[in-house]
Amino acid sequence: METVICKKCGKKFGYGLVGIVYPGGKDRETADCPYCGETVASIMTSQTFYVEKMEDDNK
Ligand SMILES: [Zn+2]
């Protein structure tokens, strides 16, 4: 899992890829900030991004 600080809202979260890698099933997947929705990563893959909050919402 990658840990990033959102450029837009400054909050920290993690993201990674899950799922099966298979040829021919590639689609555009984006990892979006769970706090503000900013897209931080975008790749062509057959997998799916998951994101995990690393800070409380009410900080
Ligand atoms: Zn954000």
Domain of 21, in residue numbers: 2-53
Confirm whether 15 is domain-assigned: yes
Residue at token pair 């893959």: 45
How many independent structural domains does the chain possess? Answer: 1
The pTM for the full model equals 0.83
Question: Is 58 domain-assigned?
Answer: no
Q: Can you tell me the mean pLDDT for 28-35? A: 96
| Span from the CA of 24 to the centroid of ligand 1 (angstroms) | 32
Predicted pLDDT at 25? 87
* Centre of ligand 1 from the C-alpha of residue 34, in Å: 7
Q: Quick check: 12 pLDDT over 90? A: yes
Instruction: Report which DSSP code applies to 55.
Output: S
Average pLDDT over residues 38-46: 96
Going from the Cα of 37 to the center of ligand 1, the distance in angstroms, rounded, reads 6
Beta strands in 1-59 (DSSP E): 2-5, 12-18, 27-32, 39-45, 48-53
Rounded to the nearest angstrom, the distance between the alpha carbon of 46 and the centre of ligand 1 is: 25
pLDDT value for 59: 55
Using CA atoms, how far apart are residues 54 and 19, in angstroms rounded to an integer? 22
38 part of a folded domain = yes
